[in-house]
Chains A and B, each alone.
Chain A
Amino acid sequence: MSILKLEKIGFKYTEDWTLKDISFDVRRGEFMGVLGPNGSGKTTLLRLIDGILRPREGRLWINGLAAAEMKRQDLARLIAVVPQDSQLVFPFTVQEIVLMGRVPHLGLWRFEEEKDFEIACEAMEMTDTGSLASRKLNALSSGERQRVLIARALAQQPQILLLDEPTAFLDIRHQIDFFELIRRLNREQALTVIAVSHDINLASLYCDRIILLKEGRIHGMGEPAAVITAAHIQEVYKTSVSVERNPVTGRPMVMPLSSAAMGV
């Protein structure tokens, strides 16, 4: 059974449709990538899935339940989001941040209990942030901070993990570390992952399936090899590229072509 099902979803902020006719299924435990140029509606799509925005048309099912009828708190128990980065105005420690992931599971007046501390502890162990527990979030490097945000998402014990360009501020080593970690969690815990990314090559490397968005519509969907082709990328990103096969992984690999090199 698919854990997430979108049926002819459409959304507009003002006059023009930001997203239109979006239909797809995500299977439990799948690693799904969402690619597309700036303004193609990637982030809007994530916000629709996690319920921050409500679709103007179409329907969304999570675990077979209509998302439109679910409460915010119920959604937060099913879906967690890892944002790009988080800078705080006031100091919170890493442990406090991770424990915030437990909030959707707590009652109104309840404090975290032993069970919640254990879950937060596990989440920190999985993301290798246990040693940072008493540090202030703002004092960490962006790579460490990103891992803390994953830990918070894991403490939510979600079934679906949404990633919103999570590696935008990371260097190549931390980008790989990040996706390796997500991939491991995805495999070991059958966690469904939907990642919005600007990095076509990383998405190609880690995703089971990829959705390519163009101007708010699905331009292509399927396995990386089927979606990431020179023709698709040129149509969507309006940029000349050459797509090769990664000699080690066999996944498609995009290389931008500069006009100078082509002798234009």
Chain B
Amino acid sequence: MLPYFFLPFLFLPFLAVFSSRRDLTPGPVTLSRVLRISGSLLLVLVAVSIVSILIGSTRIGTIPALKELLYGWRDGYVGLAPEERTIIFSIRLPRVIFAGLVGASLSLAGVAFQGLLRNPLADPYILGISGGAAVGAVIGIIAGAGTVPFGISGLAFAGSLLTIVLVFSVAKTKGEMPSNTLLLAGVIVNAFFTAVIMFLISTSSHTQLRTVMFWLMGDLSFAEGREILLTGLFLLAGFVVCFRYAKGLNLIVTGEETALQLGVDVERTRKVLLVTASLVTAVAVSVSGTIGFVGLIIPHMMRMLWGSDHRLLLPASMLFGGAFLVAADTIARTAAAPSELPVGVITALCGAPYFIYLLRRKTL
């Protein structure tokens, strides 16, 4: 059971972050504070990722594996069997990177949606993007598109894009998109898609059913080079755009009228951020399924720790959300090894109690 010896270590960096709390870096948001906090969270992400790579259903010696990670890139160290090298570099490493990117995307989109809709209950799926993606994916699975590159994720992405267009055009009245109308449109569209999914599931075969179930609860086993690249590109672009509008978003959170009075182009900021967050979500959902909870709780955790300024909240949530999903995915693939659990189950099982604990301790 040596690999599982490391499992508790996954949580150490998290504890370190939470014990530091806000008194460690008090005061308003400055560039140096953003860099300091982002830097420490990046360390957390790297630490969690390394621990995650060391854990798995195949036992690989810790010290050789670490050496392999450090020097193996340059073929300098050859202490591991070829198949062990393959497991580390071709299976675990891509999966860890993929989990980090998806977690970061969902958390980034979660922050943006919560701020834009001024609603603490908002998450990346609130506009029904997950529903549209799910319909696309389920159709893909039933039609057997899994063998084609981007078969399932491509259909899922098409489904989510369609949903975005649908929800925005439903919510648009006289050239404006009021938050409440947008929320309602999202909820309705999601309900409709859930019905479509149920219908599709009821007509599918047993073998398909398992794949569909895993997709619906989130599945990071699709991790391959092109998915990673795509998710990474959208995440990076999404972050740059969101950060560009972060100051405006701060003001929109305090009230749209206030934001206008302080010189923010509220309409443009909302539009750009809505589209950006929707696209980032769409890509993440399309490649990984509907992993719940990450996009909802990570932004709240970061807000409780460091306040609501989006210039800090965006990078912090992104990095910590990545670390969180890497940890959750490690548990998902090892807890019941050699079989895998859907990662969405772990995020909710671990996330919910912890979030309740935070809620009881601090006011939102």
Contacts and interface: CB of A to CB of B under 8 A. Distances in A.
Interface of A: 50, 52, 71-77, 79-81, 83, 86, 88-93, 95-97, 99-101, 103-104, 106, 108-109, 111-112, 117, 134, 156
B263 A96 contact: no
Contacts of A74: 263
Contacts of B31: 111
Contact of A117 (B28, B244, B253): B28
A112 B262 CA distance: 15
B84 interface: no
Given A92-B254, A108-B244, 10 more contacts: A72-B260, A75-B263, A76-B262, A77-B263, A88-B254, A89-B118, A100-B251, A101-B262, A103-B262, A111-B29
A75 B28 CA distance: 26
Given A91-B303, A96-B307, A106-B247, A76 B254 contact: no
B244 A93 contact: no
Interface string B225-254: 000000000000000000010010011011
Contacts of B363: 91
A90 B120 contact: yes
A76 B261 contact: yes
Nearest to B119: A89
Q: Chain B: interface secondary structure?
A: loop
B244 A73 contact: no
B308 interface: yes
B308 A99 contact: no
A100 B307 contact: no
A166 B212 CA distance: 57
A194 B119 CA distance: 33
Interface centre among B114, B120, B308 (most CB of A within 10 A): B308
A92 B257 contact: no
Contacts of B263: 71-77, 103-104
A50 B26 CA distance: 35
Contacts of A112: 28, 30
Interface centre among B114, B260, B309, B363 (most CB of A within 10 A): B260
Contacts of B265: 72
Nearest to A92: B308
B261 to A, nearest CB: 5
A92 B363 CA distance: 12
Interface in B113-132: 114-115, 118-120
Interface in B14-33: 26-31
Contacts of A117: 28
Given A76-B263, A103-B264, A95 B28 contact: yes
B191 interface: no
Interface residues of B, number: 34
Contacts of A81: 258, 261
Given A86-B255, A90-B303, A92-B307, A52 B262 contact: no
A97 B254 contact: yes
A112 B172 CA distance: 36
B245 to A, nearest CB: 10
Contacts of B308: 90-92, 96
A51 to B, nearest CB: 8
B254 A100 contact: yes
Contacts of A75: 263
Nearest to A52: B260
B165 interface: no
B260 A86 contact: no
A103 B114 CA distance: 21
A173 to B, nearest CB: 26
B28 A96 contact: yes
Contacts of A96: 28-29, 307-309
Contacts of B260: 52, 72
Interface in B92-126: 114-115, 118-120
A137 to B, nearest CB: 9
Contacts of B29: 96, 111
Contacts of B311: 111
A79 B115 CA distance: 26
Nearest to A91: B308
Contacts of A97: 254
A255 to B, nearest CB: 35
Given A76-B262, A86-B255, A112-B30, A91 B307 contact: yes
7 contacts: A76-B261, A90-B364, A91-B307, A103-B247, A106-B247, A108-B244, A156-B262
Interface string B283-324: 000000000000000000001000111010000000000000
B72 to A, nearest CB: 39
B244 A52 contact: no
Nearest to B33: A111
A96 B303 CA distance: 14
Contacts of A86: 254-255, 258
Interface centre among B28, B247, B265 (most CB of A within 10 A): B28
A156 B264 CA distance: 14
Contacts of A76: 261-263
A52 B261 contact: yes
B262 A104 contact: yes
A74 B265 CA distance: 12
Nearest to A120: B28
A111 B27 CA distance: 14
Contacts of B364: 90-91
Contact of B261 (A80, A88, A134): A80
